[in-house]
């Protein structure tokens, strides 16, 4: 059963790479996503370690970074509000 799942993973990865290399539009999308990912992680890092809001710490994990990548600056406000309300 593991070989079936592994072969499906390898096959889908190869097809994904083929589509990315074939289409020129994919590179601009991938570059924009990478830029947003780095900017989101940097913004969360600065927010945590500069200490603009005392006592606020938003952990750097895939969920928080993904939220900030998708939502942008309002995502940071969402994470800060959730941290403030929940904790």
User: pLDDT tens digit string along 3-21?
Assistant: 888 899 899 989 888 887 7
User: pLDDT tens digit string along 29-54?
Assistant: 778 888 888 888 888 888 888 877 78
43/38 Cα distance (integer angstroms): 9
Is 47 among the domain residues?
Answer: yes
Residue 26 has pLDDT above 70, yes or no: no
- Please count the CA atoms within 13 angstroms of the CA of 61 that sit on its side-chain side: 5
* Tokens found for residue 51: 């200490």
* Tokens found for residue 67: 């939220």
| Strand positions, DSSP E, the chain | none
Is 15 among the domain residues?
Answer: no
In this prediction, residue 12 carries a pLDDT of 92
User: pLDDT tens digit string along 48-83?
Assistant: 888 777 888 888 888 888 888 888 878 888 888 888
Q: What is the number of structural domains in the chain?
A: 1
The boundaries of the domain holding residue 75 are 25-86
14/65 Cα distance (integer angstroms): 27
Select from 47, 5, 3, 15 the least CA-distant residue to 64. 47
Is 5 among the domain residues?
Answer: no
């Amino acid at each position: 059963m593991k070989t079936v799942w592994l072969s499906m993973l390898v096959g889908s990865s190869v097809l994904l790479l083929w589509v990315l290399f074939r289409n020129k539009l994919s590179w601009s999308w991938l570059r924009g996503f990478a830029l947003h990912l780095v900017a989101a992680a940097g913004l969360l890092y600065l927010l945590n370690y500069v200490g603009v809001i005392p006592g606020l710490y938003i952990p750097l994990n895939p969920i928080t970074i993904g939220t900030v990548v998708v939502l942008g600056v309002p995502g940071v406000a969402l994470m800060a509000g959730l941290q403030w309300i929940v904790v």
